[in-house]
Amino acid sequence: MPLQLSQSALTVLSLCQRKFQHVYWDQLSGLMPTEQRSHLEWGSRFHHLMQQRDLGLPLHANSADDVSFYRCMEALVQTVPQIFDPSAWRDRLSEHRRSLRLGDAVFTVVYDLLLLGDDQAQIIDWKTYPRPQQSHWLSQHWQTRLYPFVLAETSDYSPDHISMTYWFVQPYLTEPIPQSITFPYSTAQHQQTRQRLTTLVEHLMASLAAYQDGQPLPQLPEGSAACEDCAFALRCQRGAYAIATPALPTLTDIAEVVL
C-alpha cells in the first residue's frame, strides 16, 4: 500500500520525524493549547463559509464570530473582485481535491480555490493570520511547493503558467484589510520538487520498514526550540518535561567503603 501524504504531513516530517511518527503512524493525538485550537476552529469555519459562498448557499450571521467571518469575506470580495467573478475564468473550483501517485506515495492536495484560464492557472489559499513580514519561509513551505507541483502533473498547464497566491485575513477586526503574497511557479522549481519528493519517499519507505521492526523515528536533539510547545513534549520528555540526568561522580569522588 502506498504512503498517503499531504502538505501537512510533509510539514510535520520536515519539523520532526518522531512527531510525524506519532501523528501519522501511531495515530496519536497530542494536547493542543486552547488558543491554538480556537484559532484552527475559526479558520476551518471561515474556509467553510467561503465554500458556501462559492456554491451559492444562503449565509446567515447568527453570532459575533459570524459577523467577523462576513467582514473578512466582504473585504476579500472588495479587494480582489476578479477572483470571485465566474465569467473571468474558464473554470473556477472551490475546495478542489487532487491526488498524484509518485513512486511509493500518493500525494493529496485540497485547493481552497483553483482559477483556471485558457493558458494560466492560479491557486488561491486563504490564511486566517497576519501576512508574514518575510515571505522566504512561506516560499519554502511544503504547501507552496506541493500544490503547484500536483497541478502541473495532473493538468495541461506548464509549470511556468502556474502561480500560487496566499490571501491573509485576520479575525475580529472591525475593518479587516486583506493582504497577499504571490509565488510564480517554474520548470526549474518543478524539477527540484520532483527530486526532493522522490528522495523523501525513498527515505520514508526505509524508515517505515525500520518502524515496523520496532525502531522509532529519530527525535530532535534535547533543547530544540520546536519541542517547547509541541503536543508530544510529555511523551518525548522534551521541553518543560525533559528529565534531567544527574551527572555521575567520578571514581575519585566516591568515598571508600570499609567492609
Higher pLDDT, 110 or 231: 110
Q: What pLDDT is recorded for position 207?
A: 95
pLDDT digits (tens, 9 = 90+) for 178-204: 999 999 999 999 999 999 999 999 999
Burial label for 134, CB within 10 Å (0-12, 13-18, 19+), is: exposed
Q: What pLDDT is recorded for position 68?
A: 79
Q: Give the mean pLDDT of 217-229.
A: 90
Q: Which three cell numbers stand for residue 249?
A: 561522580
Q: Which three cell numbers stand for residue 99?
A: 491526488
Say whether pLDDT at 39 is over 70. yes
pLDDT digits (tens, 9 = 90+) for 115-162: 999 999 999 999 988 898 888 889 999 999 999 999 999 999 999 999
Q: What pLDDT is recorded for position 234?
A: 87
Say whether pLDDT at 252 is over 80. no
68-72 long-range contacts (CB < 8 A, ≥24 apart) are 68/171, 68/172, 68/173, 69/45, 69/171, 71/173, 71/174, 71/175, 71/176, 72/46, 72/128, 72/169, 72/170, 72/171, 72/176, 72/178
Domain 3-218 part of CATH 3.90.320.10: yes
Task: Say what the pTM is.
Answer: 0.86
Q: How many CA atoms lie within 13 A of 231 on its CB side?
A: 14
